[in-house]
Amino acid sequence: MIPIALPLLAHEEAEAARAAVLSGWVSQGPQVTAFEQEFAALVGAPFACAVSNCTTALQLALAALDIGPGDEVITASHSFIATANSIRYQGATPVFVDIDPETYNIDSAQVMDAITHRTRAIIAVHQMGIPCDLAALTAIAKRRGIALIEDAACAAGSEISIDGEWERIGKPHGRIACFSFHPRKVITTGEGGMLTTADPELDRKFRLLRQHGMSIPDTVRHGSPQVLFEDYLVVGYNFRMTDIQAAVGRKQLERLPELVARRRAVALGYAELLGNLEGLRLPAEPAWARSNWQSYCVRLPDRLDQKGVMQTLLDQGIATRRGIMCAHREAPYAAESHRHQLRQSELAQDHSILLPIYAQMTEDDLRYVVNALTRVLYR
Ligand X SMILES: *Cc1c(COP(=O)(O)O)cnc(C)c1O
Catalytic residues: 185
Contact mark string toward ligand X, 17..46, x via CB under 6 A: ------------------------------
> Between 174 and 269, whose beta carbon lies closer to ligand X?
174
User: Closest separation between CB of residue 119 and ligand X, Å?
Assistant: 20
> Between 209 and 372, whose beta carbon lies closer to ligand X?
209
> Between 125 and 176, whose beta carbon lies closer to ligand X?
125
User: Closest separation between CB of residue 193 and ligand X, Å?
Assistant: 5
Angle between helices 200-210 and 54-64 (to 10 degrees): 120
Identify any residues that bridge with 214 across adjacent strands, giving them in sequence order: 232
Q: Looking at 48-56, 97-105, 260-268, 354-362, which segment touches ligand X (CB under 6 A)?
A: 48-56
Q: Which of 31, 53, 196, 252 binds ligand X (CB under 6 A)?
A: 53
User: Closest separation between CB of residue 153 and ligand X, Å?
Assistant: 3
User: Closest separation between CB of residue 51 and ligand X, Å?
Assistant: 9
Q: Looking at 29-37, 38-46, 151-159, 238-246, which segment touches ligand X (CB under 6 A)?
A: 151-159
How far apart (Å, rounded) are the C-alpha atoms in residues 181 and 32? 13
CA-to-CA separations, 165 to 27, 101, 159, 162, 289, in angstroms, rounded: 38, 26, 10, 5, 11
Q: Which of residues 154-173 bind ligand X (CB under 6 A)?
A: 154
Q: Which of residues 170-199 bind ligand X (CB under 6 A)?
A: 180, 182, 193
Contacts of residue 368, Cβ cutoff 8 Å, sequence gap at least 6:
2, 318
User: Closest separation between CB of residue 262 and ligand X, Å?
Assistant: 20
Q: Which of 55, 242, 252, 320 binds ligand X (CB under 6 A)?
A: 55
Number of residues that bind ligand X (CB under 6 A): 14
Q: Which of residues 71-130 bind ligand X (CB under 6 A)?
A: 79-80, 82-83, 125
User: Closest separation between CB of residue 222 and ligand X, Å?
Assistant: 28
147 and 122 in contact (C-beta within 8 Å)?
A: yes
User: Closest separation between CB of residue 331 and ligand X, Å?
Assistant: 18
Regarding 153 and contact with ligand X (CB under 6 A), the answer is yes
Q: Looking at 23-31, 50-58, 232-240, 330-338, which segment touches ligand X (CB under 6 A)?
A: 50-58
> Between 193 and 356, whose beta carbon lies closer to ligand X?
193
> Between 95 and 324, whose beta carbon lies closer to ligand X?
324
Q: Which of 32, 51, 54, 348 binds ligand X (CB under 6 A)?
A: 54
> Between 138 and 180, whose beta carbon lies closer to ligand X?
180
Q: Which of residues 300-329 bind ligand X (CB under 6 A)?
A: none
> Between 168 and 182, whose beta carbon lies closer to ligand X?
182
Q: What SS3 string covers the chain?
A: CECCCCCCCCHHHHHHHHHHHHHCCCCCCHHHHHHHHHHHHHHCCCEEEEECCHHHHHHHHHHHCCCCCCCEEEEECECCCHHHHHHHHCCCEEEEECEECCCCEECHHHHHHHCCCCEEEEEEECHHHCCCCHHHHHHHHHHHCCEEEEECCCCCCCEEEECCEEEECCCCCCCEEEEECCCCCCCCCCCCEEEEECCHHHHHHHHHHHECCECCCHHHHHCCCCCCCCCECCCCCECCCCHHHHHHHHHHHHHHHHHHHHHHHHHHHHHHHHCCCCCCECCCCCCCEECCCCCEEEECCCCCCHHHHHHHHHHCCECCEECCCEHHHCHHHHCCCCCCCCHHHHHHHHHEEEECCCCCCCHHHHHHHHHHHHHHHHC
Could you list the residues that contact ligand X (CB under 6 A)?
A: 53-55, 79-80, 82-83, 125, 151, 153-154, 180, 182, 193
